[in-house]
């Protein structure tokens, strides 16, 4: 389709999530060029040197971040009671996280309809074959093009500790390298980011909101745009240790919140070869995402798992280095523009790559 005038919901839009062990939470609500941020004290923890899961893992405490709109005080900074279950799911277990992960450091997650004119994504998406690995599906993926602009005027980003790193000045000293700046670089006008260490869609860590609660809070605050879900690492691990919620259940919860709004979901990868955070468990989650494309025409997947370089991982084999976080932030924004461009229809392919 041709270019259109911008509204809080341009032709199209998206949102995604990714996961890993706990990190210090950050929060910010950015409206236009003005930004307000609130950061809990402390730097992201350095990884420890011993673990029973095939490699070192970071210690550190879990924290949550929340966002709000314009001058509205963030309502998600108050952690919901751990005994309160999300309204659309049965009471989720609060102790499903892998027993090998410290209780406060479990690894790694959409709006009052104020703009009715935002178009929905047409049901013409070509999904990757069910059961196909992301690396194989990427052969037919849409490739992001430099300079491309997204139709998403507003983005709500829900993430885990990897997303905390995408905002962290400890890892990304230059503000222009952080995720909010990268979204603005591709044309997003309003950015809401809610990330928290140890977050998954269902389980709660140390009383912090899970991904479902964070997304519903963002909706209640007025978000009515695209979604980016950078989730799955903790979800895959929790499923591996016996959670009653499989990957499909978790994806369905977040997609129900998004409704017909565009969603970009960032898939997951680790370098571990054993334990609940093994990359084999991540691949189970990634395959479920690919299968979900057939059921959700508004879903697109950024193939981070197929692009991340091994050298970008920290020694815990889950979290990233400064170079890794900078690459991830830039590539997520480029994938958003390729999935839901301002000047054309949404990508015909469910899988999006940036060419790296």
Q: Are strands 34-39 and 226-230 parallel, antiparallel or unpaired?
A: unpaired
Domains of the chain, first to last: 16-37+48-353 (3.40.50.1110)
CA angle 79, 73, 231 (to 5 degrees): 50
pLDDT attached to residue 327 = 98
Report yes or no: 188 and 152 within 8 Å, Cβ to Cβ. yes
pLDDT attached to residue 131 = 40
pTM for the full predicted model: 0.67
Q: What is the DSSP letter of 73?
A: P
Q: Enumerate the β-bridge partners of residue 351.
A: 301
Report yes or no: 229 and 254 within 8 Å, Cβ to Cβ. yes
Helix (H, G, I), strand (E, B) or coil at 111: coil
Q: How far apart are CA 290 and CA 281, in angstroms?
A: 15
pLDDT attached to residue 137 = 53
pLDDT attached to residue 139 = 57
Helix and strand numbers, DSSP H then E, in the chain = 8, 10
Of the candidates 66, 322, 23, 270, the one whose C-alpha atom is nearest the C-alpha of residue 164 is: 23
Helix (H, G, I), strand (E, B) or coil at 16: strand
pLDDT attached to residue 110 = 33
Residue with tokens 């790559």: 353
pLDDT attached to residue 322 = 98
List all residues 6 or more positions away from 252 whose beta carbon is below 8 Å from its beta carbon: 292
Q: How far apart are CA 232 and CA 214, in angstroms?
A: 15
From residue 133, give the alpha-carbon distance in Å to each of 8, 128, 136, 278.
Answer: 35, 9, 5, 16
List all residues 6 or more positions away from 147 whose beta carbon is below 8 Å from its beta carbon: none
Q: Which secondary structure element, helix H or strand E, spans residue 155, and what is its range?
A: strand 154-159
pLDDT attached to residue 21 = 38
Q: Which secondary structure element, helix H or strand E, spans residue 29, and what is its range?
A: strand 26-31
Which regions of the chain are under pLDDT 70?
Answer: 1-139, 356
Report yes or no: 319 and 101 within 8 Å, Cβ to Cβ. no
């Amino acid at each position: 389709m041709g270019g259109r005038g911008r509204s809080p919901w341009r032709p199209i839009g998206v949102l995604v999530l990714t996961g890993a062990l706990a990190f210090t939470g950050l929060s910010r609500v950015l409206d236009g060029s003005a930004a307000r941020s609130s950061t809990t004290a402390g730097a992201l923890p350095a990884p420890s040197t011993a673990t029973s899961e095939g490699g070192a893992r970071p210690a550190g405490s879990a924290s949550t971040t929340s966002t709000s709109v314009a001058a509205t005080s963030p309502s998600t900074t108050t952690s919901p009671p751990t005994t309160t279950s999300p309204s659309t799911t049965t009471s989720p277990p609060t102790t499903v996280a892998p027993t090998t992960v410290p209780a406060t450091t479990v690894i790694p997650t959409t709006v009052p309809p104020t703009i009715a004119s935002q178009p929905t994504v047409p049901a013409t998406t070509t999904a990757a074959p069910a059961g196909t690995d992301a690396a194989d599906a990427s052969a037919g993926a849409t490739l992001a093009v430099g300079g491309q602009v997204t139709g998403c005027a507003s983005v709500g980003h829900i993430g885990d500790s990897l997303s905390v790193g995408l905002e962290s000045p400890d890892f990304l000293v230059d503000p222009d390298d952080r995720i909010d700046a990268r979204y603005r670089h591709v044309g997003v006008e309003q950015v809401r980011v809610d990330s928290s260490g140890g977050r998954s869609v269902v389980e709660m860590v140390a009383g912090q909101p899970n991904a479902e609660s964070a997304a519903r809070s963002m909706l209640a605050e007025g978000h009515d745009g695209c979604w980016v879900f950078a989730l799955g690492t903790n979800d895959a691990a929790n499923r591996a240790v016996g959670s009653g919620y499989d990957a499909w259940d978790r994806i369905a919860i977040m997609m129900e919140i998004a409704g017909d709004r565009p969603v970009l979901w960032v898939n997951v990868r680790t370098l571990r070869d054993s334990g609940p955070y093994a990359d084999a468990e991540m691949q189970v989650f990634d395959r479920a995402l690919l299968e979900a494309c057939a059921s959700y025409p508004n879903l697109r997947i950024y193939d981070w798992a197929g692009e991340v370089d091994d050298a970008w991982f920290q020694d815990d084999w889950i979290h990233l280095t400064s170079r890794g976080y900078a690459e991830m932030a830039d590539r997520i924004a480029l994938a958003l523009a390729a999935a839901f461009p301002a000047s054309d229809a949404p990508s015909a392919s469910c899988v999006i790559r940036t060419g790296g």
